[in-house]
Amino acid sequence: MVMKAAADKNSILAPGEMLQSPAAPPSVTHDLSENVILTTVDDLYNWCRLSSLFPMLYGTACCFIEFAALIGSRFDFDRFGLLPRASPRQADLIITAGTVTMKMAPALVRLYEQMADPKYVIAMGACTITGGMFSMDSPSAVRGVDKLIPVDVYIPGCPPRPEAIIDAIIKLRKKVATESMQDRAYTMQTHRFYQRAHKLKPVPPILTGKYLQMGTHSSPPKELMESMGMPVPSALAEKTAHEETN
């Protein structure tokens, strides 16, 4: 998706410079898909994708409360065919609901990369657009998730109302509807960075009962016993004396 700079003088690009990520799809494939059969197939394919955008259950802060309201009966995003999935592998859409911190950033990128193409991102709330109210002085907030993952639709608001999310979903549906099957080769992700093997290794049991069998659990501390006038067991007295000398 690289375009030749327009030759006119008003262009902000230097002569010969390429524009990355233009606002319109590349025109060659676009002309190709003017073909009747291809457009019909494209329409069917796009309709299927836009009718079943499975969002991932992802919420890191207060915005998720509004997102949760959207799942419930009052706003009901199942009307648009959105079925929340807990696993990123089966999700098509990630709505970043809530502040993303530096510590959460690698996890977010990893989740995004685990999703299968084609995938979409909606940045929800001021926090995920610019850092929101944390953009002034926070040492840890990420100033906008678009620094980490490519965002398709932004929803301003702190938090945005559920209607705003529905609006964003409708806008995303429109965006999906304009895509073409032939662009898949361009938009597919080529490199995935966060892939790692889980190391399933045995660990020794932690509930062995030894903790409860310790001497301090069967008799009170030495000082307490002395003050109560109880005889101090010789083993305990020796042990404390030994510990004190250490």
Partner 1 sequence: MNQGIDLQGSFIRAMVDLGFSPGVAKTLWLPLPMGVILVAATVSIFVTVWLERKISAAAQQRIGPEYAGPLGTLQAAADGIKLIFKEDITPAKADPWLFTLGPAIVVIPVFLSFLIVPFGQNMVITDIGVGIFLWIALSSIAPIGLLMAGYSSNNKYSLLGGLRAAAQSISYEIPMALAVLAVVLMSNSLSTIDIVNQQSGYGILGWNIWRQPAGFLIFWIAALAECERLPFDLPEAEEELVAGYQTEYTGMKFGLFYVGSYVNLVLSALIVSILYLGGWEFPVSVTWISGLLGISETTPWLQVITAAIGIMMTVFKAYALVFIAILLRWTVPRVRIDQLLDFGWKFLLPVSLVNLLLTAALKLTFPVAFGG
Judged by beta carbon distances under 5 to 8 A according to partner kind, the member of partner 1, ligand SF4, none in contact with residue 44 is partner 1
**DSSP label at residue 40:** H
Residue 43 vs residues 38, 133, 172, 177, 244: alpha-carbon distances, Å: 8, 41, 15, 7, 81
Using the contact rule CB under 6 A, the part of the chain among 68-76, 125-133, 147-155, 170-178 near ligand SF4 is 125-133
Q: Which of residues 149-208 bind ligand SF4 (CB under 6 A)?
A: 158-159
Kindly tell me which of 93 and 127 has the beta carbon lying closer to ligand SF4.
127
Size of the site for partner 1 (CB under 8 A): 32
Q: What are phi and psi of 154, to 5 degrees?
A: -105, 135
Piece of 85-93, 141-149, 157-165, 218-226 that binds partner 1 (CB under 8 A): 85-93
Q: Verify binding: residue 188, partner 1, rule CB under 8 A.
A: yes
Burial string for 195-206 (b: 16+ CB within 10 Å, else e) reads eeeeeeeeeeee
Q: Which of 122, 126, 119, 116 is nearest to 157 (CA)?
A: 126
Q: How many residues bind ligand SF4 (CB under 6 A)?
A: 12
Contact between residue 122 and residue 172 where contact means Cβ atoms under 8 Å apart: yes
Burial 85-95 (b: 16+ CB within 10 A, else e): beebeebbbbb
Task: Give the residue among 169, 136, 140 at the shortest CA–CA distance from 152.
Answer: 169
Least distance (Å) from ligand SF4 to the CB of residue 169? 17
Q: Name the minimum Å distance from CB 160 to partner 1.
A: 21
Q: Tell me which residues touch ligand SF4 (CB under 6 A).
A: 61-63, 98-99, 125-127, 132-133, 158-159
Residues that bind partner 1 (CB under 8 A): 44-45, 47-49, 51-52, 57, 72-73, 76, 78-81, 83, 85-87, 89-90, 92, 114, 116-118, 188, 195-198, 200
